[in-house]
Amino acid sequence: MTQERPPSPDGGDGPPEPSGPRPHGAPWARPLLVSVTALAAIAVLTLATLTQSPSAPAASDAKAAGAASGTGAPSPATTSAAAPSPSATTPATTAPPPTAATPTATSTTPKRSASAAVADAIDALPAAGDVAVAVTDLDDGVEVSAAFDSSDDRGNTYDTASIVKVDILAALLLRAQHADTHLTANQRALATVMIEQSDNDAATALWDAIGGGPGLAEANETLGLDHTTPGSGELWGLTQTTAGDQLTLLRAVFVGADSPLSGASRDYIAGLMGAVTATQNWGVSAAGSDDAGYALKNGWLQRTRTGLWDVNSIGRVVRDGHRLLIAVLSSGQGSERAGIDLVERAATAAADAFRSR
């Protein structure tokens, strides 16, 4: 079957029509030709519209641009065509929303109390009998002190033995201050040997000068020694006290603030305590680590009924550049030597624990 060709627009370029009879149905051939031509035109227009549409694939634009330049290398148009078209929907890449900074947990170990630190240190010491310790740092910048007593009775007191001699001298000086007088030459001589050499006869003479037990009690009320009870009669060495009260006495001597003792009285007592004889260089002085010296008073007493010893030491030492006031009291010691060893170990342990807490 021969397909019908459309006539040339000017009627001269088309091929001659075939000779012979026309195929059956010739009357609708021309309308069919018009329909085919119209469809072809519509197709061309549609294709043209698609190629000009912004939604045409980017690859088609890139290929056309490359052909126009005569090379396969991408032109600037090719580069821009590689980007997504405006109609393309590309999921946006967004950074995760900022999260609030989580506070870093700081591990802090609660600082132990001074008394707990000292108690642990003294508890670790092997010891017979009982021991009580009180300590404070004069250069710490904070008013802190620690006290510990190994006895089961929290209200336990200890025999002072010869450490009461510091209290006797403080009472004598308070009396002189109140009377606005000075110590006599004899009193000063007695005070020197009482403190520096721990002379008992001198102590008895000055005990009487202050009015014995009642005079000491009056002075202690002024000094703030609330748990100290004077010995009866001439038994000044059996005055009962606590480590805390002895620390209070040391503060009155070595700290000017709020002390009822005048500056001259404090210097006088401290000077004598800093000049004790070499044979009495033991006790709290063992806790000193510097060559800044020490000021102390020791006491020792053997109880007749039990044969056991009371050994005590109070004073000021310098450790690691800090001035420490330390009071150590003990009872029930098997010997004088054992008591001295315990007092020195306790003073050193308390100083270390207090400074490193």
Interatomic CA distance for residues 312 and 161, integer angstroms: 8
Q: What is the pLDDT of residue 68?
A: 35
Interatomic CA distance for residues 350 and 294, integer angstroms: 17
Interatomic CA distance for residues 307 and 311, integer angstroms: 13
- The token pair that represents 328 in the structure block: 């150590």
Interatomic CA distance for residues 81 and 88, integer angstroms: 12
Interatomic CA distance for residues 134 and 357, integer angstroms: 15
Distances in Å between the Cα of 113 and the Cα atoms of 28, 118, 144, 148, 246 are 118, 9, 10, 12, 21
Q: Is 305 exposed, middle or buried (0-12, 13-18, 19+ CB in 10 A)?
A: exposed
Q: Judge contact between 281 and 290, C-beta under 8 A.
A: no
Q: The pTM is what? A: 0.69
Judge whether residue 8 has pLDDT over 80.
no
**Between 72 and 296, the higher pLDDT residue:** 296
Q: Judge contact between 179 and 265, C-beta under 8 A.
A: no
Mean pLDDT of 108-126: 78
Task: Give the confidence band of 253 by pLDDT, cuts at 50, 70, 90.
Answer: very high
Judge whether residue 198 has pLDDT over 60.
yes
Task: Give the confidence band of 203 by pLDDT, cuts at 50, 70, 90.
Answer: very high
Instruction: Classify strands 295-302 and 158-159 as parallel, antiparallel or unpaired.
Output: unpaired
Q: What is the pLDDT of residue 291?
A: 80
pLDDT tens, residue by residue, 12-54: 444 334 444 444 444 434 443 344 444 555 554 444 444 444 4
**Between 39 and 336, the higher pLDDT residue:** 336
Residue 132, Cα to own-chain centre: how many angstroms? 29
Q: What is the pLDDT of residue 96?
A: 52
Q: What is the pLDDT of residue 113?
A: 85
Q: What is the pLDDT of residue 154?
A: 64
pLDDT tens, residue by residue, 139-179: 987 778 999 998 866 678 999 999 999 999 999 999 999 99
Judge whether residue 211 has pLDDT over 50.
yes
Strand partners, 315: 296, 326
- The token pair that represents 133 in the structure block: 């310790």
Interatomic CA distance for residues 162 and 36, integer angstroms: 138
Judge whether residue 336 has pLDDT over 50.
yes
Interatomic CA distance for residues 314 and 331, integer angstroms: 15
Q: What is the pLDDT of residue 112?
A: 67
- The token pair that represents 205 in the structure block: 């003479």
Judge whether residue 99 has pLDDT over 80.
no
> What residues contact 233, with CB distance under 8 A and at least 6 apart?
212, 213
Q: Which region among 47-56, 93-102, 324-333 has the lowest average model confidence (pLDDT)?
A: 47-56
Task: Give the confidence band of 277 by pLDDT, cuts at 50, 70, 90.
Answer: very high
Interatomic CA distance for residues 296 and 287, integer angstroms: 12
Sign for the pseudo-dihedral over CA of 287, 291, 295, 300 = positive
Q: What is the pLDDT of residue 123?
A: 86
Q: What is the pLDDT of residue 141?
A: 74
Interatomic CA distance for residues 215 and 60, integer angstroms: 119
